[in-house]
């Protein structure tokens, strides 16, 4: 397994919609292992393939507590099929937007259809942190970032900061 480089804003790939996975095979499973290793190393609770410059509809998640045994999950071609009317607010961060956190309101519960690593169709009903992480990561697959839920002023401040950092790194 290997740790993959994580793409950060303002890289335009983060705004591209990801393409559906055509086939679940050994190379995809190996890539999922690398994504999980990258996510744990970061450390994060979720990672979309686009965040490691692979524009496919796949994400990894593990919302287990630090002292618990790891519970990695891989979602291939995930699709939100139902959301609750009840809102929930979590402070979100993102591995592609380091050191930026904001309270974001999303539906408290979601139902997601996806393929597992065996290529089997699955459905999961999630609430709490898992619901938030799934929505956050599926947004990535659609080219949407959590800062898009902020006011225009706050979002532009974050983007300006990262554009400035990117210019400094290029020098």
Residues 6+ apart with CB under 8 A from 83: 107, 109, 110, 111
Residues 6+ apart with CB under 8 A from 7: 13, 14, 50, 51, 52, 53, 96
Please pick, among 54, 113, 120, 137, the residue that the annotation labels catalytic.
Answer: 137
Query: Active-site residue 137, yes or no?
Result: yes
93-94-95-96 Cα dihedral, nearest 10 degrees: -140
Which residues are marked as active site? 137
């Amino acid at each position: 397994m290997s740790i993959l480089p994580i793409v950060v804003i303002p890289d335009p790939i983060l705004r591209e919609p990801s393409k559906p996975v055509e086939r679940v095979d050994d190379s995809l499973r190996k890539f999922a292992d690398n994504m999980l290793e990258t996510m744990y190393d970061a450390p994060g609770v979720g990672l979309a393939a686009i965040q490691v410059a692979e524009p496919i509809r796949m994400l990894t998640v593990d919302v287990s507590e630090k002292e618990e045994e790891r519970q990695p999950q891989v979602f291939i071609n995930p699709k939100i099929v139902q959301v609750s009317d009840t809102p929930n607010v979590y402070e979100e961060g993102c591995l592609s937007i380091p050191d930026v956190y904001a309270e974001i309101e999303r539906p408290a519960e979601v139902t997601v259809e996806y393929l597992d690593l065996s290529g089997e169709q699955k459905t999961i009903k999630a609430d709490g942190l898992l619901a938030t992480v799934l929505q956050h990561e599926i947004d990535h697959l659609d080219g949407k970032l959590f800062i898009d839920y902020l006011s225009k002023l706050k979002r532009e401040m974050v983007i300006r900061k990262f554009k400035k950092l990117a210019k400094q790194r290029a020098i």
